[in-house]
């Protein structure tokens, strides 16, 4: 069967622009690329806790069906109650991934007559969910509240207004002005939605995220907490009041029409949440972020790095081929840092995204930045 010519043309366009993606298996390189900020994915303690629990529970290999059919277990509901308590909210609903959670929330909640305003740097899952909702959608300049307010006031006032931002942005590593957004939500009358994918586990007294850290819970309509980043496992949850959770159970298609989260995943989330009470790894992570930034200054790399206080530190090189060349050289020196290319980031904003972890050493941080300074 002949492959469609239009699709071949699109692949060729990617090839010619040096932005064609391909898969490569994980290796034993020094990790500056994964989202495993606290090292939980490699934790023997977490593994042992999960395995011991499954020996005494309903340890099916799979959940057997959707939550509304045969796949709902008491453990799911107990975990959701625990998550609601942990994140200081009325309710929580589990989804199989952060992508599913964003699609499930944003495709079902905003209605056709509503307006949704999203930061221009929002993740693809946010944009996809908004598009599926059929609500009127408007992007606003990154972290620009004046632009947001102007667009809210200049568009037709009809239906509900939703504003969605990310607590920590996945490509730049910078943070949304959450306190200012909370204040503006009361003035402008919008419902604030915050994706905490890259802040869950990293910020807050126990890793509850930036909304809890800044005590903004009453101002937020919904949060998306993803467990595949700092918690080192899989899945996600939408948190909000009881009415929101009931609505999602009835109208969120990614929740209704998919096989429920297996018990192994749910148990892993439970113990990962409990392990966050030990602040040691989070403190080490923050020290490593500080040292990484000190080494950026030491090697005079400030001009290429985006200012960020999060584990995500991005060096903009603005050339797909050059970004690939530099990351290949780093790999040859046993370091894993990934090139980020268009269309994930705009043309001219190609970069190397360095992810800092609690298990990176000072020597590793110093060496990778020294190497970068010799390659760029």
Give 10-residue mean pLDDT values along the chain (376 residues): 94 87 84 97 96 81 92 94 98 98 98 96 96 95 97 89 97 97 96 98 97 98 98 97 98 97 95 95 97 98 97 94 95 95 89 98 98 96
CB atoms within 10 A of CB 247: 16
Note down the domain range covering 225.
57-275
The CATH number covering residue 359 comes to 3.90.1150.10
Sign of CA dihedral 152, 153, 155, 161: positive
- Residue 10: inside a domain, yes or no? no
Are 304 and 156 within one domain? no
Are 35 and 134 within one domain? no
213 part of the active site: no
166 part of the active site: yes
Which of 216, 240, 275 is the last residue in one of the domains? Answer: 275
Q: What is the spatial order of strands in the sheet that 91-95 belongs to?
A: 91-95, 236-240, 220-226, 191-195, 161-166, 115-119, 136-140
pLDDT reported for residue 362: 98
pLDDT reported for residue 27: 77
Catalytic residue among 31, 36, 80, 166: 166
Catalytic residue among 19, 63, 170, 199: 170
pLDDT reported for residue 18: 81
pLDDT reported for residue 174: 97
Are 258 and 340 within one domain? no
Count the domains in the chain. 2
pLDDT reported for residue 61: 84
pLDDT reported for residue 58: 67
pLDDT reported for residue 272: 98
Integer CA distances (angstroms), 331 to 33, 313, 352, in order: 11, 18, 12
Dist CA 306 CA 122 (whole Å) = 17
Please answer whether residues 164 and 118 qualify as being in contact, where contact means their C-beta atoms are separated by less than 8 angstroms: yes
Are 154 and 173 within one domain? yes
288 part of the active site: no
Please answer whether residues 37 and 355 qualify as being in contact, where contact means their C-beta atoms are separated by less than 8 angstroms: yes
- Nearest 5°: the CA angle 308, 314, 318 is 135
Is the pTM value of this prediction over 0.75? yes
Length of the chain: 376
229 part of the active site: yes
Q: How far is CA 248 from the centre of its chain?
A: 20
Which of 275, 293, 317 is the last residue in one of the domains? Answer: 275
**E-assigned strands of the chain?**
30-31, 91-95, 115-119, 136-140, 161-166, 191-195, 220-226, 236-240, 312-316, 335-336, 338-340, 351-355
Please answer whether residues 174 and 307 qualify as being in contact, where contact means their C-beta atoms are separated by less than 8 angstroms: yes
Structure tokens at 36: 């495993």
Catalytic residue among 76, 191, 229, 234: 229
Are 312 and 193 within one domain? no
**E-assigned strands of 28-143?**
30-31, 91-95, 115-119, 136-140
CB atoms within 10 A of CB 85: 12
């Amino acid at each position: 069967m002949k492959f469609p010519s239009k699709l071949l043309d699109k692949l060729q366009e990617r090839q010619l622009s040096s932005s064609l993606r391909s898969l490569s298996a994980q290796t034993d390189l020094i990790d500056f690329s994964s989202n495993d900020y606290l090292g939980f994915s490699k934790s023997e303690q977490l593994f042992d806790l999960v395995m011991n629990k499954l020996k005494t529970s309903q340890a099916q290999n799979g959940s057997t069906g959707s939550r509304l059919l045969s796949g709902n277990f008491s453990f799911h509901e107990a975990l959701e109650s625990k998550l609601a308590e942990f994140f200081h909210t009325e309710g929580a609903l589990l989804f199989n991934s952060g992508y599913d959670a964003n699609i499930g929330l944003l495709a079902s909640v905003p209605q056709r007559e509503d307006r949704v305003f999203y930061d221009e740097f929002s993740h693809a899952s946010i944009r996809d969910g908004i598009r599926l909702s059929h609500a009127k959608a408007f992007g606003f300049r990154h972290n620009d509240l004046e632009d947001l307010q102007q667009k809210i006031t200049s568009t037709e006032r009809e239906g509900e207004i939703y504003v969605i931002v990310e607590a920590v942005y996945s490509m730049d590593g910078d943070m949304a002005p959450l306190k200012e957004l909370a204040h503006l939500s009361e003035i402008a009358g919008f419902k604030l939605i915050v994706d905490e994918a890259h802040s869950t586990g990293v910020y807050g007294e126990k890793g509850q995220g930036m909304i809890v850290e800044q005590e903004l819970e009453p101002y937020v309509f919904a949060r998306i907490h993803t467990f595949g980043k700092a918690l080192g496992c899989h899945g996600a949850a939408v948190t909000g009041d009881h009415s929101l959770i009931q609505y999602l159970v009835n109208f969120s298609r990614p929740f209704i029409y998919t096989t429920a989260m297996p018990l192994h995943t749910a148990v892993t989330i439970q113990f990962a949440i409990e392990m966050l009470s030990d602040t040691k790894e989070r403190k080490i992570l923050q020290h490593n972020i500080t040292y990484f930034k000190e080494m950026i200054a030491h090697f005079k790399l400030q001009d290429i790095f985006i200012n960020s206080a999060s584990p995500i530190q991005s060096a903009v090189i603005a050339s797909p081929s050059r970004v690939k060349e530099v990351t290949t050289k780093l790999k040859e020196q046993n370091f894993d840092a990934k090139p980020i290319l268009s269309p994930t980031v705009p043309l001219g904003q190609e970069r190397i995204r360095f992810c800092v972890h609690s298990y990176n050493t000072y020597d590793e941080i110093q060496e990778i930045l020294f190497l970068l300074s010799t390659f760029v």
